[in-house]
Every structure is written in C-alpha cells, then in structure tokens.
Structure 1
Amino acid sequence: MRLYDHRTGQVEELPRRLHIHVPSGASRVLVVADLLRRVAQRAKHRPVTVTRAAAVPAAPAFNIPDLEVAAPPDAIEVSPAPDAHLVVHEIPDERTADPLTMRLAWLRIHHRDPDDVDLHRAESDLASWRSLMAEWANAPGRPLNREYVAEAESALVNDLDSPTALAVLDRLIADPDVQPGAKLETVIHLDMLLALDLVRDIGRT
C-alpha cells in the first residue's frame, strides 16, 4: 500500500505495522483516517491502530468508531497541519448535510484536493444506491465480481484514490452484464471500505 507523504513530496510504501494518529478534530480528517484504516486492514497490514488527540471528538455519525486517546511515537499523522505525514484539506460547511452524505461527498474528491464538494450529487447517489441494493436483494444470489473489486481496491491502496474507486462502483452499477445478485455482493464488499451504509434499506417496506 502506498501513500503520498506531504513532508517528502513522494508516494511512499507504508510500513507493515501501521499506527495512524489524528491530532485535529476536523470531520474530513477523521473520515480520511478511517478510510486509511479500513483499506490498510484489507491490504493485510497487521496490526492497524488509529488514535486521536484528547481534544478530538468521536464521530460515530460518520461511521467512524471511537478511537483510543494515545499517540505511538511511530504514528502516521493525518491532519490539516502542513507538518503532518498526510495533510487533508479542510472543507467548510460540513454540517449542511447528513453525515454519510458528507462522507460520500468527501470521498468523491481526492484527499489532497481542496475543491468544493457536491452535496446534491452525493445525496442523490446515496438514495439511488440504497434503493438499488434493496431491489437487488430480491434477486438470486451470485458471487461478487472480482474484477470490479480488484480495480476498486487497487485504486484505494494507491494513495487512497477514492474518486477512482467510486468511479468503478458507478460502472459496476451501470454494467448490464453483471447480474443483480453479483452487484449486491460486490457493493457490500466495497462498502466495508467506503462505510456508506448502502445496505440500510434492504428489507424495509
């Protein structure tokens, strides 16, 4: 797994033992740190720990579990601060939408990209994807599509390229050659990394 190091200006291989520390309370910083944790765990980094400064609040609404309050000396810091390993641009008005809508909007842009988010698209996509998942859940079961999974995961292990991973998800959803049951299993598998709660409407009337 590789990650751009703001201090060196290079994309570097991550150590096998990965400690991630969040010294800033900005919600987007927490989302990026959580994505890094999820991707690193799937990429077989052992162990992966995420810690936060005492002043940083937990963010369960963004599907981020509570973090330990500690900072190992070898931790990779995720912060808006310019001296951090991984610098994340803060984006204003983060409370103008549902937290998972915000999470998707942030994931649509690269963590090093300061451009504004598209909340309308994120809200529309979440509603559409959840509706499709509920529909696909009634279809015959099929194995997940490994080609789409591999392509999306390859993007994420390459400097957390979540926009490319989401573009893969868009193509999967639109692909008429992939059966609904396979789409369901593939999206569930990818959502374990994206943490957008795309299964939320399955089984609802």
Structure 2
Amino acid sequence: MLRIVDELAGRGPLRICAHVPPPGGPGDLTGLRVLLVADVLARVVELRGRHVLLGRTGPGVPSAAAVGIRPSDADGTPDHIADMLGGPPGVHLTNRAYEGGGGASLQVAEAHTSVSPAGLEERDPLAVRLLLLSHAHHEPTALRAEALDEARLTLARWRRAVADWAEQPSMPMPMDLLRPVRAGLEDGLGTPAVLDLLRDLETDTDVPAGAKFETFAHLDRVLGLELARETGRPHPAGAPA
C-alpha cells in the first residue's frame, strides 16, 4: 500500500505518471480508472501543499475530461515524459505490476461496466466517478446501471444539501470526524471511507449545517464531484425545498 506521507514527502513538484492500458473491449473502464486514481493522488498531495505534474503513457481516454480528470502535462514515452516534466516520475500508476525502474508504484485494479456507451452518456458522468471512488482502487470493480442511477441521485441530493447548508453561518469542520479520513487518504487513498463520512454527516443532527458545508466542500477538493455547484442557485421548479 502506498503511504503518501512516508514516500512522497519532499521538495519541488511531485511527478506522477499514469500508464493507461489499451482498451480491453466494450465496457472496459480500466484506463479511465488509472487516470482517476492518478487524479485523486494529485489532489491529495496538492492538499498538503506540494505541486504535482502529471504524465500519461498509452492511449487517451475520451471520457476522462467529463469525469473531472484534469489533462496531463505531458504524454508519450516514459523518457519523453521525464524530459517534459523536468525529471523522472516519482510515482507510477498501472493496472499491473510496474516493470520500469525508479519511483514508487501503485497498482490499480480493473474496472468494467455492462452499461452501453450511450447509456453512460445519458447519466451524470460524475456518477461514474462517484461509483469508482466508492471502491478501493486495488479491488476489481463492475459498475451496474442501477448503481450508476443511485449515484446520480446521491450527487443531486448532496449538491442541493450543500447549497442549503451554504446559506447558514459558517462553522468549523468536525475535526474528530475529519482527521481519520484525511489520514486514510494520505496513507492509501481511502476514498470509500471519505464517502462513508459524507453519508453519515448528511443526516447527523449533532453537526451544524455550516460545519457540514465546510466539510463537504473541503473533501470535495479530493473527490472532485462538484458538490458545491448548486450553491447560490434557486431550487428547480418542483424540486423539494
């Protein structure tokens, strides 16, 4: 398990290289998942104040931008990426054991879906991101249509709740709840625990609305689910207040 605090601390930018595998057929989301884990890793490191540069080998993934994955800073061979980024990557992400030299490596398990490309396009693409983040990156994952629909509804509910909480006075985040999930992110990219915290926090009557807003907004800097995008917008007609 990659321990970010132990292995990635240092000065200067952290260079990350995502090695995207060729598509394995219809419904193969493994390449997208490799890029997503690299994106989350970059966000966690940047949350600690260190700049990150991203490289990518292998084919492009057209759906990556829609899923909130930022573009790479360099594409091509490992040598070309090292030249473009000003040094060799410190972390390599692959879907199998990394055979190159230098740097730490993080293996990302396969991901597939039985939903057709057209069916995926009909859903909020960030529902795919939410569902992938709901599983540990080292566990194989299959995304079902029902789960994607549930993820879409969860995102809609959270975005509306965050918008409502934003109208209340700001309050400090509950650090006793936040500290363990932050540690899990830094030690092993534990996004499932982060999402579990948000689910619990949503209905926790002991936490003020302003503290909920601050916590959701803070953790979304890693999750990248655009949870605050409804803030300041009126309720859609017919939507529950």
State the TM-score, normalized to the length of structure 1.
Answer: 0.85
Q: What is the distance in 2 between the residues matched to 1:68 and 1:167?
A: 32
Q: Match for 1:152 among 181, 184, 187?
A: 181
Q: Find the partner of 1:76 among 91, 100, 106.
A: 91
CA deviations on 1:133-167 (whole Å, 9 max, x unpaired) are 12112222222222232222112112111111211
CA distances 1:1-56 after superposition (whole Å, capped 9, x unpaired): x617xxxxxx9932324321012061111110000111112234x34322112743
- Residue equivalent to 1:193: 222
The 10-residue stretch of structure 1 (191-200 or 148-157) with the greater mean CA deviation from structure 2: 148-157
Matched, 1:178 2:207: yes
RMSD: 2.4
Change (3 A) 1:77 1:204: same
Once the 2 structures are TM-superposed, how far is the Cα of residue 62 of structure 1 from its aligned partner? 1.8
Aligned sequence identity (%): 33
Runs of 4+ in 1 over 4 A off after TM superposition: none
Question: C-alpha distance in 2, partners of 1:74/1:88?
Answer: 17
Instruction: List per-residue Cα deviations over 1:172-200 (Å, max 9, x = no partner).
Output: 21211111111011110110111100011
Give the counterpart letter for 2:129 in structure 1.
R
SS of equivalent residue, structure 2 residue 111: coil
Partners of 1:88 and 1:98 lie apart in 2 by 23
In the other structure, the counterpart of 1:8 is: none
CA contact (8 A) 2:43 2:222 kept: yes
Deviation string, structure 1 residues 73-92 (Cα, Å, up to 9, x no partner): 34321121332621212312
SS at match of 1:204: coil
Distance 2:43 2:5 in 1: 18
CA distance in 2, matches of 1:15, 1:141: 33
C-alpha separation in 1, matches of 2:137 and 2:37: 7
Aligned partner of residue 62 in structure 1, secondary structure: coil
Structure 2 counterparts to residues 40-189 of structure 1, below 5 A:
40-44=45-49, 46-53=50-57, 55-57=59-61, 59-69=64-74, 70-71=81-82, 72-83=87-98, 85-93=105-113, 95=117, 96=120, 97-117=123-143, 118-189=147-218
Write the letter of the residue equivalent to 1:133. Answer: V
Structure showing greater radius of gyration is 2
Per-residue Cα deviation, 1:52-105 (whole angstroms, up to 9, x for no partner): 127435732222221111244343211213326212123123742432101100
1:170 Cα deviation (Å)?
A: 1.4
Match of 1:77, SS? strand
Of 188-197 and 47-56, deviating more is 47-56
Structure 2 alignment gaps of length 5 or more? 22-30, 75-80, 100-104, 235-241
| CA distance, structure 1, for counterparts of residue 161 and residue 171 of structure 2 | 16
Higher mean displacement: 185-194 or 168-177? 168-177
Question: What residue number does 2:42 align with?
Answer: 37
Please name the residue that 1:14 is paired with: 7
- Alignment check: 8 A CA contact 1:105 1:119 kept: yes
2:112 alignment partner AA: P
Q: TM-score, normalised by structure 2?
A: 0.73
> What is the identity, as a one-letter code, of the residue corresponding to 2:111?
I
